[in-house]
């Protein structure tokens, strides 16, 4: 068959056939072009190899460049795009770019050399986009997908990563999941990752939850995410990839944690596999088939019309609620903590020096501390609503401590900075057996005056307990106890540092918790701990708990006495064990536990804490606390 035969069969001139063969057919209708191409293909007419390859490739092949087929989104996109392309008279060639800019550039060069009719492309690097620009007329029709780089030569259809991440994060935070980790996907481009991170951060700001950048993890760090769930109080995980969401779901259950009781999981892409998990995993869903339809329509329009249509659009998305997000109960009970906020400077020594003696420390560490701050963080971690009443210096320690309390979700409406006093500091020497001595410089804590307390009366509204210590001025303690009495708030006093207390202060006090040494100062002279504790109740205190270090504690209400044994943990640092005991006790009582159960639970928390350095670092997480309580006291 000759070119004249083709022209005769198509009912056109030889000039028209020549123009179709040489790609110079801009002024020829699509119907005529298709009729000529069909006859050429039917009779396998080959004028010369170059024209044939150009004709068949340029007019019938669409290149699809995906980052992976492991992602269900990408797989569904390709299947739909291929189906739609075939209906429009095209075939699809699939390329997988994977990691690495050079691989992407190589694909773009290959597509360019083959004179492909069009390109559907998920770019992962700006360098590869430069290669696309440099291809010139060889790639004249393309649609860029999930492209957040500043490239304006072709239409773009993107998933709305910023708002998808914001929506998913907000959903977890509004369910009171307070520490939510984000696990990024290795298949996302660098620009897309930044948008996901931005949406995640914006959700924290909008929900008033402290943003922790360290909770943003790469996919390769997903094992770290599991470890953080176990050890760092993570109660929610957001995954960008359904495959990773499935792995974390499996690992959490393998570690004997529960979804969603212990940790909520949400995915920023949907997959049928998420439905089949038990419990099934919630997702924020963009429709890959919708993206494929928009992309193929835009590409075919470019190819057919021989003109460029520049636009940029975002895919709509929706949240699919399943069973993997727990609506954690918001703390129903408010506990006000009034007291000291210090920076603890801890030195490890073989033994504390005698008077006139010098000894060397083996190490020195600084830890956020202060009995008030310790108790407030304990209250928050154990599950109640913690409000802090205190003062800080306007210095580096003060700013660090303020940030730490914010991070722990402690309400700081009652905390103000003093510009004339430094932040309080505590100098702690810890002996090899874990026992310690403490010297406190009150600093700004001294500015927690009765006048300041009176100015913060609104903080006492709706509080069920108020925790107090003696590292603030005694007149302020008296003022606070007076407000508690007015508003029927149960006050719990830790008399440290111990001093003689006016009997008027002790009347109607719900609970006092001294240690053995403090008890001897409060009730000097001979007598057993039982006898001295009873004497305190005789002065009007309803309940007394005396902490006895490794020997546990004793409780009395003046009529009955009961001893509670400590759990056997190796003692590394006993600093602040009583603060942890008190905060745990208060939370348990606020939840309706009786004193017996509350003391047992607090004993578990305090016993465990001595096996860790520092105070706030040693506060046990709620899940482990409940497990240890069951194993120790529930038969």
Catalytic sites, residue numbers = 579
User: Which residue(s) pair with 426 in the sheet?
Assistant: 344, 440
Closest-CA residue to 515 (of 532, 490, 535): 532
- Say how far apart CA 578 and CA 515 lie, in whole Å: 8
Closest-CA residue to 237 (of 170, 181, 320): 181
CB 283 within 8 A of CB 275: no
Backbone φ/ψ region at 420: left (φ over 0), alpha (ψ -120 to 50), beta? alpha
CB 180 within 8 A of CB 174: no
Distances (CA, A) of 261 to 255, 275, 389: 14, 18, 32
Strand arrangement, sheet containing 424-430: 363-369, 342-348, 424-430, 436-441
- Say how far apart CA 154 and CA 299 lie, in whole Å: 10
- Say how far apart CA 588 and CA 593 lie, in whole Å: 6
Other beta carbons within 10 angstroms of residue 427's beta carbon come to 14
Q: Hey, what long-range contacts does 224-227 have (CB within 8 A, 24 or more apart)?
A: 225/181, 225/183, 226/251, 226/252, 226/255
- Say how far apart CA 476 and CA 448 lie, in whole Å: 7
Residue owning tokens 């069009």: 118
CB 70 within 8 A of CB 285: no
Q: Is the dihedral of CA 396, 399, 402, 404 positive or negative?
A: negative
Q: Output the six-digit token pair for 388.
A: 């802090």
- Element at 372 (helix H, strand E): helix 371-382
Task: Output the CA torsion 96→99→100→103 (10° steps).
Answer: -10
Distances (CA, A) of 329 to 178, 273, 377, 464, 612: 12, 29, 18, 18, 29
Maximal C-alpha separation, the chain: 126
DSSP designation for 591: T
């Amino acid at each position: 068959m000759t070119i004249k035969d083709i022209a005769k069969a198509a009912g056109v001139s030889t000039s028209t056939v020549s123009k179709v063969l040489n790609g110079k057919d801009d002024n020829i209708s699509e119907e005529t072009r298709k009729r000529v191409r069909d006859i050429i293909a039917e009779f396998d007419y080959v004028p010369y190899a170059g024209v044939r390859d150009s004709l068949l490739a340029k007019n019938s092949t669409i290149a699809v460049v995906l980052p992976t087929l492991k992602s269900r989104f990408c797989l569904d996109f390709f299947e739909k795009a291929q189906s739609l392309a075939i209906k429009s008279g095209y075939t699809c060639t699939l390329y997988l770019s994977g990691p690495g800019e050079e691989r992407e550039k190589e694909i773009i060069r290959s597509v360019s050399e083959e004179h492909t009719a069009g390109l559907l492309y998920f770019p992962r690097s700006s360098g590869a986009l430069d290669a696309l620009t440099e291809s010139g007329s060889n790639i004249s029709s393309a649609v860029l997908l999930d492209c957040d780089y500043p490239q304006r030569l072709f239409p773009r259809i993107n998933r709305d990563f910023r708002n998808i991440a914001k929506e998913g994060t907000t959903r977890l935070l509004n369910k009171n999941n307070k520490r939510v980790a984000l696990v990024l996907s290795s298949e996302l481009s660098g620009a897309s990752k930044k948008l996901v991170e931005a949406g995640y951060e914006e959700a924290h700001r909008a929900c008033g939850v402290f943003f922790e950048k360290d909770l943003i993890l790469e996919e390769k760090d997903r094992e770290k995410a599991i470890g953080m769930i176990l050890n760092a109080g993570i109660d929610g995980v957001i995954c960008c990839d359904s495959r990773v969401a499935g792995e974390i779901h499996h690992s959490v259950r393998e570690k004997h944690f529960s979804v969603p009781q212990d940790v909520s999981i949400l995915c920023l892409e949907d997959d049928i596999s998420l439905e089949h998990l038990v419990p099934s995993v919630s997702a924020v869903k963009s429709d890959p088939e919708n993206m494929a339809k928009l992309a193929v329509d835009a590409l075919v329009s470019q190819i057919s019309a021989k003109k460029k249509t520049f636009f940029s659009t975002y895919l709509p998305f929706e949240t699919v609620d399943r069973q993997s997000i727990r609506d954690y109960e918001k703390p129903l009970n408010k506990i006000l903590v009034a007291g000291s906020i210090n920076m603890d400077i801890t030195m490890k020594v073989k033994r504390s020096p005698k008077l006139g003696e010098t000894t060397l420390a083996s190490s020195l560490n600084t830890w956020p501390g202060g009995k008030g701050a310790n108790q407030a963080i304990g209250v928050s971690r154990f599950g109640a609503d913690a409000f802090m009443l205190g003062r800080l210096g306007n210095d580096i320690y003060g700013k660090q401590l303020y940030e730490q309390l914010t991070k722990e979700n402690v309400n700081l409406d009652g905390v103000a900075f003093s510009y004339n006093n430094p932040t309080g500091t505590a100098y702690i020497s810890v002996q090899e057996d874990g026992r310690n001595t403490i010297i406190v410089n009150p600093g700004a804590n001294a500015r927690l005056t009765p006048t300041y307390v009176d100015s913060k009366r609104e903080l006492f509204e709706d509080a069920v307990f108020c925790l107090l210590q003696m590292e603030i001025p005694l007149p302020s303690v008296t003022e606070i106890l007076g407000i508690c009495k007015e508003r029927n708030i149960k006050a719990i006093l830790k008399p440290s540092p111990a001093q003689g207390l006016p009997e008027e202060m002790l009347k109607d006090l719900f609970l006092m918790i001294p240690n053995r040494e403090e008890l001897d100062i409060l009730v000097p002279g001979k007598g057993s701990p039982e006898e001295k504790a009873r004497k305190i109740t005789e002065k009007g205190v309803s309940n007394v708990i005396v902490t006895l270090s490794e020997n546990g504690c004793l409780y009395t209400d003046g009529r009955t006495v009961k001893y509670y044994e400590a759990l056997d943990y190796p003692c590394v640092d006993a600093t602040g064990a009583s603060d942890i005991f008190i905060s745990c006790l208060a939370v348990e009582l606020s939840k309706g536990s009786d004193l017996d159960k509350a003391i047992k639970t607090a004993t578990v928390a305090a016993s465990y804490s001595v096996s860790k350095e520092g105070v706030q670092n040693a506060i046990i997480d709620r899940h482990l606390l409940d497990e240890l309580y069951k194993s120790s006291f529930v038969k």
